[in-house]
């Protein structure tokens, strides 16, 4: 041996502790590692690994799912290795020979038939035939469970609980004594099976374990442990928390909530609304039943009570929006759009227009804007918009008989009993993080036009290109809105186009059968990436089952669901949940008459809010106290 070779051979090898560690790999290296016969202490986390040595004879689809729904932290690792057909056939042949020889020896000695041997022999014959026909293959499978805890005493309790759960599934879990490090490595995402406690599975049994089915929705970002989106409540199956982000990576941001009366639709809508406000999402609510007043007052929202004194919406307002930096913007064809919209407004007020009336109206609209100093020049659009009375005066001053007829038809809305909604400029612009439009107290004669003006205001806000932000448009009791042509057209347009404007439409209705029976209702449902089904009536469950492709278990769950329980369908995932609200949230969103009556007698100590001033004779429900001072 040369001197150079001897010097190289005698040079000490670098110590493992002195070898450089890659910076990326260092993030996965624990601070300390202590090895005990049956557990490990990895950086303060105590863990133990068990191997599954016994399996049930028959398994069903998703038979490993209970292991994933265990409330503690358990790592489940499955190692699969295929067996080539020649080796599989030879092993099956040897196994059959052993079983047959054992059975014949027992018959010769007069022993009783062993049921387990008989079952094993039948299974071996059946498996051998399927492998020979190419209907299945054989695999070696290793199943390992690693249980985590914060202390040894807690680990012992967790291990006992997991073993009991495995025993309920007819799985025999054994600790990997004196191989705790190899067991932990086998459950890490490294693809290494250092325990090698295998069991032979065929294709059918192995496929029943994949994919792992879990009743919990997957997180939007699998690398993040922090939940995102809105908390809907508790998972009925696993008792975990159900979070869902409608503005995440989904097809659209729409949601539809269907359920019978009293199932908790409005409660869930208001709960989602309140928690969306926490995230900075702007919300607009079309409230036909006046249920959002207390919530709007509690969060400092804008509440427009149409039909109340001094609440007006001027249909002549140009679609001018204010950007976050204070600039005022409008579309280039804002005046043309508003003129066309006014044709729709007048048609709703006086009925279908003839060709002569439409021509007279078009000339009168242009003359009314010009009289107010507004022309096609955008620099004039900052002038105050004219009113409906100005249009009626212009029509009345015309010599055209069609214009005079229109002016007479507008008289009830300009100087008559229904003029309160139009006899002045818009009282509130509809800005803010929460805007509620209450339609309950509008007279029946003004329901259609009030709905049209509200939806126009909402659409102008949502479609403003100068102020892009996530928004929700909530339509509670949508069946009331769908009876009107303007409301139906708005819902259809929102369902189709809201995603383009970073907005989501929330539709809640109890008239499930009528919604699904109409083309509009089906369009709203099919264009909603988030679908929530609450308790359903037996008369509607067949159609619900067909439209949403419910399983028999989901069908029975919806028929027997308690108030607030429902099925959340988000993409390919479905989860049964129970709505969960805090005490303060419940006080703001409940509409239970008994609770509201109790609160009226007990005062405001339980979280309710007074909206009226102490000397105001009007209560939050719009009732006037005749004996008020």
Q: For the chain, which domains are there?
A: 30-207 (no CATH), 249-311+432-613 (3.40.50.300), 331-426 (1.10.8.730)
The per-residue pLDDT for range 540-579, each reduced to its tens digit, is 888 888 888 888 888 888 888 888 899 998 877 888 899 9
CA distances from 63 to 59, 88, 170, 209 (A): 6, 25, 11, 6
3-class state of residue 118 by DSSP: helix
Mean pLDDT of the chain: 80
With a CB cutoff of 8 Å and minimum separation 6, the contacts of 394 are 364, 367, 368, 371
Q: Are 259 and 511 spatial neighbours (Cβ–Cβ below 8 Å)?
A: no
What average pLDDT does this structure show over 119-140?
73
- How far is residue 193's CA from residue 188's CA, in Å, rounded to a whole number? 10
Determine contact, residues 96/124, Cβ cutoff 8 Å: yes
Residue 5 has what pLDDT? 42
What pLDDT, in 10s, does the model give residues 415-464?
888 888 888 888 877 778 899 998 888 888 888 888 888 888 888 888 87
Confidence of residue 179 (pLDDT cuts 50, 70, 90): very high
Strands 230-235 and 573-579, by their bridges, are antiparallel
| Nearest-angstrom CA–CA distance, 88 and 444 | 79
User: Any bridge partners for residue 432, and if so which?
Assistant: none
Q: What pLDDT is recorded for position 546?
A: 84
Q: Grade residue 193 by pLDDT with cuts at 50, 70 and 90.
A: very high
Instruction: Concatenate the DSSP letters of all residues of 245-305 into one string.
Output: -TTSSSS---EEEE--TTSSHHHHHHHHHHHHHHTT-EEEEEETT---HHHHHHTT-EEEE
Could you tell me the end-to-end alpha-carbon distance of the chain, in angstroms, rounded to an integer?
A: 116
Per-residue pLDDT averaged across 31-38, rounded?
Answer: 88
Reported as a single tens digit per residue, the pLDDT across 49-85 is 999 999 987 777 778 877 877 878 899 999 999 888 7
Average pLDDT (129-147) is: 82
Strand ranges (E), 413-564: 434-438, 471-475, 503-509, 530-534
Contact present, 588 and 301 (Cβ < 8 Å):
no
Beta-sheet pairing, 565-570 with 573-579: antiparallel
Burial, 604: exposed, middle or buried (Cβ in 10 Å; 0-12, 13-18, 19+)?
Answer: exposed
In contact, 473 and 276? CB cutoff 8 Å: no
What is the distance between the alpha carbons of residues 289 and 440, in angstroms, rounded to a whole number? 5
The pLDDT assigned to 9 comes to 43
> For residue range 317-361, what is the model confidence (pLDDT) as tens digits?
887 776 666 677 777 788 888 888 888 888 888 888 888 888 999
Give the tens place of pLDDT for each residue, 78-114.
999 988 877 777 777 777 777 777 777 777 777 776 6
Give exposure, 228-258, as e/b (b: 16+ Cβ within 10 Å).
ebbbbbbbbebebebbbbbbeebebbbbbbb
pTM above 0.95, yes or no: no
C-alpha 70/C-alpha 60 separation (Å) is 19
The confidence band for 493, taking pLDDT boundaries of 50, 70 and 90, is confident
Whole-angstrom distance, CA of residue 300 vs CA of residue 283:
12
Query: What are the tokens at 166?
Result: 């495995």
Q: How far apart are CA 491 and CA 506, in angstroms?
A: 10
Query: Which helix (H) or strand (E) segment is 220 a member of?
Result: none
The whole-number pLDDT of residue 101 equals 78
- Packing angle of the helix pair 388-396, 355-371 (nearest 10 deg): 120
Is residue 159 pLDDT above 90, yes or no?
yes
165 closest CA partner among 66, 62, 47: 66
Q: Give the residue from 114, 120, 78, 74 showing the smallest Cα distance to 96.
A: 120
In angstroms, rounded to a whole number, what is the distance separating the alpha carbons of residues 362 and 139?
79
- Phi then psi for residue 119, to 5 deg, are -65, -40
- Residues shown for the chain: 629
Q: What is the mean pLDDT of residues 16-33?
A: 64
- Mean pLDDT computed over 470-486: 78
Q: Which residue has the tokens 């010769």?
A: 108
Contact between 480 and 288 under an 8 Å Cβ cutoff? The reply is: yes
Q: What is the DSSP code (8-state) at residue 604?
A: S
- Of 619, 590, 282, the closest CA to residue 436 belongs to 282
Q: Name beta bridge partners: 578.
A: 234, 565
């Amino acid at each position: 041996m040369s001197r150079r070779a001897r010097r190289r051979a005698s040079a000490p090898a670098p110590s493992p502790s002195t070898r450089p560690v890659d910076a990326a790999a260092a993030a996965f290296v624990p601070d300390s590692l202590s090895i005990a016969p049956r557990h490990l202490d990895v950086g303060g986390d105590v863990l133990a690994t068990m191997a599954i040595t016994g399996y049930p004879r028959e398994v069903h689809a998703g038979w490993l799912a209970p292991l994933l729904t265990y409330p503690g932290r358990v790592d489940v690792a499955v190692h699969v290795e295929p067996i080539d057909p020649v080796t599989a056939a030879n092993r099956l042949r040897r196994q059959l020979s052993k079983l047959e020889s054992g059975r014949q020896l027992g018959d010769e000695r007069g022993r009783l038939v062993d049921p387990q041997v008989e079952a094993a022999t039948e299974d071996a014959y059946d498996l051998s035939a399927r492998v020979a026909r190419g209907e299945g293959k054989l695999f070696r499978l290793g199943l390992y469970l690693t249980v985590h805890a914060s202390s040894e005493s807690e680990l012992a309790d967790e291990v006992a609980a997991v073993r009991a759960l495995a025993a309920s599934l007819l799985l025999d879990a054994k600790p990997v004594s004196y191989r705790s490090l190899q067991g932990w490595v086998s459950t890490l995402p490294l693809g290494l099976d250092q325990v090698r406690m295998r069991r032979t599975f065929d294709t059918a049994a192995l496929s029943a374990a994949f994919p792992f089915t879990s009743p919990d929705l997957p997180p939007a970002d699998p690398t993040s442990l922090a939940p995102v989106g809105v908390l809907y409540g508790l998972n009925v199956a696993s008792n975990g928390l159900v979070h869902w982000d409608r503005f995440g990576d989904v097809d659209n941001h729409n949601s539809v909530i269907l359920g019978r009366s009293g199932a908790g639709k409005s409660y869930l809508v208001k709960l989602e609304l309140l928690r969306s406000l926490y995230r900075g999402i702007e919300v607009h609510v079309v409230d036909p039943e006046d249920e959002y007043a207390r919530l709007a007052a509690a969060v400092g929202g804008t509440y427009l009570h149409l039909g109340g004194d001094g609440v007006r919406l001027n249909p002549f307002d140009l679609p001018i929006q204010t950007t976050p930096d204070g600039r005022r913007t409008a579309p280039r064809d804002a005046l043309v759009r508003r003129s066309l919209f006014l044709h729709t407004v007048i048609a709703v007020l006086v009925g279908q227009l003839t060709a002569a009336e439409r021509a007279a109206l078009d000339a009168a609209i242009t003359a009314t804007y010009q009289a107010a100093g507004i022309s096609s020049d955008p620099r004039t659009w900052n002038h105050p918009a004219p009113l409906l009375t100005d249009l009626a005066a212009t029509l009345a001053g015309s010599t055209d008989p069609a214009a005079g007829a229109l002016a007479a038809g507008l008289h009830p809305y300009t100087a008559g009993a229904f003029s309160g909604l139009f006899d002045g400029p818009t009282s509130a612009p509809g800005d803010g993080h929460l805007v509620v439009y209450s339609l309950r107290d509008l007279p029946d004669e003004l329901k259609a036009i009030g709905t049209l003006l509200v939806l126009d205001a909402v659409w102008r806000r949502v479609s403003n290109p100068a102020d892009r932000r996530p928004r929700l448009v909530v339509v509670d009791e949508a069946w009331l809105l769908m009876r009107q042509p303007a409301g139906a057209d708005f819902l259809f347009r929102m369902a189709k186009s809201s995603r383009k404007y970073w907005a989501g439409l929330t539709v809640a209705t109890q008239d499930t059968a009528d919604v699904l029976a109409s083309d509009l209702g089906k369009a709203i449902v099919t264009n909603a990436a988030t679908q929530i089904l609450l308790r359903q009536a037996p008369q509607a469950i067949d159609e619900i089952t067909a439209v949403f492709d419910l399983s028999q278990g989901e069908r029975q769950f919806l028929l027997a669901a308690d108030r607030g329980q429902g099925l959340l369908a988000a993409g390919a995932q479905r989860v049964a949940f129970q709505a969960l609200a805090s005490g303060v949230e419940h006080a703001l969103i409940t509409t239970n008459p008994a609770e509201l009556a109790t609160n009226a007698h007990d005062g405001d100590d339980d979280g309710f809010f007074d909206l009226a001033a102490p000397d105001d004779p009007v209560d939050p429900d719009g009732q006037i106290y005749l004996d008020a001072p």
